Amino acid sequence: MNTVKTSTPMKPTMQMLCRLLDHLWVRGLCLAAAFGLGTGLAMSATANAPVSGAQALQQAVTEWVAQTQSVDPGVVDIAPLDSRLQIKSCQQALSMDLPFASKQTVRVRCAQPVWQLFVRVSVAGQAPAEPVQVADKPAEPAPQPRQVLVAAVPLQRGMQLSAKHVRLAQLDTPGLPVNVLEHVAQVMYAEVVRDVRPETPLRSQDIRPTVLVKRGQMVLLSVGQSTGFQISARVEAMQDGRYGEQITLKNRESGRLLSGMVKGPNQVQGL
């Protein structure tokens, strides 16, 4: 009886297993290489990340304070910046100085683009700056009362003033209005332009010269000195005139025109 011998196909199976192992090993190497490359790129990107304007500013201020005050940068503390500030990166070296007496405020300036910022700093172990002592100023003398003109009675608009309508009073200087009157003579031949209550200081804008000469009236013209040689004549006023104003006059007999200054009711001083 013939016996058929069968042999197990070991060789092909081993070849397939070896190829599978080779494939897995190569794939593992590729994955490892890819992982290493990705990690390296991430680290490189982190290392090369641009420094923000705020970070560059804080670093520059820290180094500047440490150098100017001869201290270690580790003891320099920068106050937090306002989060709303948009600090642009400076294209040139930052310029720093101390604009005030205290060393706790550093002024940082950039030329391109142009901006400046004040930064509060402190150095560990240093006492805060003492405020500057200002010498006491000598006390100013108390203001002295001032003698001014006030209304003695209620004054109504259009009223012609005289000495009986006003009086002198001592009032505190700080409470006085501007252009206050101080002499009774200032209200002579004057009229009120607005109502004024009693005891109210009179101002120059409260009065105006009253009309003492009216056009067409005959007035007395005086020429010369009242204490010496003087000539008087009756002439016609060619225009209205208030106290101190210069008006035109006419001699009716000769028809000649003259000029004079109003000095009182229907009284004119020749020029």
Question: Residue 221 CB: number of other CB atoms within 10 A?
Answer: 21
**What is 150-200 written as a DSSP string?**
EESS-B-TTPBP-GGGEEEEEE-GGGPPTTB---GGGGTTEEESS-B-TTP
**Which CATH number do you get for residue 171?**
3.90.1210.10
Among 160, 193, 209, the domain-final residue is 209
Residues pairing with 190 in the sheet: 209
Supply the range of the domain harboring residue 63.
53-123
User: What is the distance between the alpha carbons of residues 176 and 202, in angstroms, rounded to a whole number?
Assistant: 10
For residue 250, the cross-strand partners are 236, 257
- Assigned domain for 38 exists: no
* 116: pLDDT strictly greater than 60: yes
- Tell me the CATH number at 223: 2.30.30.760
Domain match, 118 and 157 both: no
Residue 198 domain-assigned? Answer: yes
Q: For residues 83 and 77, what is the distance between their CA atoms, to the nearest angstrom?
A: 17
Looking at residue 80, the DSSP 8-state letter turns out to be P
Average pLDDT over residues 157-174: 90
Query: Does the residue 176 lie in any domain?
Result: yes
Per-residue pLDDT tens over the stretch 206-261: 999 889 999 999 999 988 776 667 788 999 999 999 988 999 999 998 899 999 99
Mean of the per-residue pLDDT values for the chain?
A: 78
- Cis-peptide, bond into residue 113, ω within 30° of zero: yes
3-state secondary structure (DSSP) of residue 69: coil
pTM, to two decimals: 0.41
* Closest C-alpha to 112, from 98, 97, 93: 93
Q: Is residue 59 part of a domain?
A: yes
CA of 89: how far to CAs of 49, 50, 57, 190, in Å? 14, 10, 9, 73
- Say which residue the tokens 């991430």 belong to: 42
On whether residue 19 sits in a domain, the answer given is no
The arithmetic mean of pLDDT across residues 27-34, rounded, is 46
Distance CA 19, CA 216 (A): 140
**Whole-number pLDDT of residue 3:** 44
130 close to 102: Cβ distance less than 8 angstroms: no
Residue 25 lies in a domain: no
Q: Clarify whether residues 118 and 150 are in a common domain.
A: no
Domain count of the chain? 3
Average pLDDT over residues 74-86: 83
Higher pLDDT, 75 or 20: 75
Sign of CA dihedral 167, 168, 170, 174: positive
Q: Compute the C-alpha angle 252/257/259, nearest 5°.
A: 120
Do the domain assignments include residue 202?
yes
Q: What is the pLDDT of residue 104?
A: 86
